[in-house]
Amino acid sequence: MLKDIINTAEEKMNKTISVLKKELASMKAGKANPAMLDRIEVEYYGSSTALNQLANVSAPEPRILLIQPYDRSAIKAIEKAILVSNLGLNPSNDGAVIRLMIPELTEETRKDIVKSVKKLGEDGKVAIRAVRRDANDKIKALKKDNTITEDEVKKCEDDVQKKTDVYIKDIDKIIENKEKDLMSI
C-alpha cells in the first residue's frame, strides 16, 4: 500500500519532467528543431490535425525546417496554421514543400525566452511539490485510519521528500541547460 503511494508519486513526477522537456523542446532556440512545430494544429478536411500527422518535418540545415506534406493539397492549410501559430516564422512554399527560415535571436528575444523557460521550470517544481503533498496526504490518511505506524509514516514521508528533491534538482539542471543553450547561440 505504501509502496503504491510512493510509486504513483514517482510516476507523476516523471510525467511532470517529460511534459517540461516537451515544452522546452518546442521553444525556439535560434536553430531549427522539428519539435518547434509539435503544437501546431492544421485545419484539414474540417478537423484539427497535428502537423506531424500531415507532413514530415526535418531540419536539413541548422537554420531551416523543411515540411514535406504527405498530401500536397494540405500545403495552404499548413502554411496558414504556421502563420497563425505566433511562432514568428514565415513559410515559403514551392508547391511541393514548405521551408521555414529560423531567424537569428536578438539578445532581447533570448532574455524573453529565458524568462519563459524559468517560468516553465517553476511551474514544474510546483507540480512536483503538489505530487509530494498528495502523497503525504494519503500517507497521513492511512495513519489516521490506524493502518500504519508513526515510524512508517515518517519513513514514507522521508522517501517521498527524497524523490521530490531528486526531481526538483533534475528540473534545475534541465532549465540551466536550456538557458545555456539559448544564451550561447
pLDDT digit string, tens, across residues 103-137: 777 888 788 888 989 999 999 999 999 999 999 99
CA-closest candidate to residue 19, choices 167, 179, 180: 167
* pLDDT exceeds cutoff 70 at 56: yes
- In this predicted model, which residue has the larger pLDDT, 57 or 182? 57
Structural domains of the chain ordered from first start: 2-25+106-183 (1.10.132.20), 34-101 (3.30.1360.40)
Q: Exposed, middle or buried by CB within 10 Å (0-12, 13-18, 19+), for 48?
A: exposed
Q: β-strand 47-50 against 41-44: which pairing, if any? A: antiparallel
- Residue 164: pLDDT band with limits 50, 70, 90: very high
Which residues, including other chains, have CB under 8 Å from residue 124's CB and lie 6 or more apart? Answer: 16, 17, 19, 20, 171
pLDDT category of residue 171 using cuts at 50, 70 and 90? very high
For 82-99, what is each residue's pLDDT tens digit? Answer: 888 877 788 898 888 999
pLDDT for the residue 39? 82
Half-sphere exposure of 107 (CA within 13 A, CB side): 0
Instruction: Report yes or no: 103 and 113 within 8 Å, Cβ to Cβ.
Output: no
The pTM of the full predicted model, rounded to 2 decimals, is 0.70
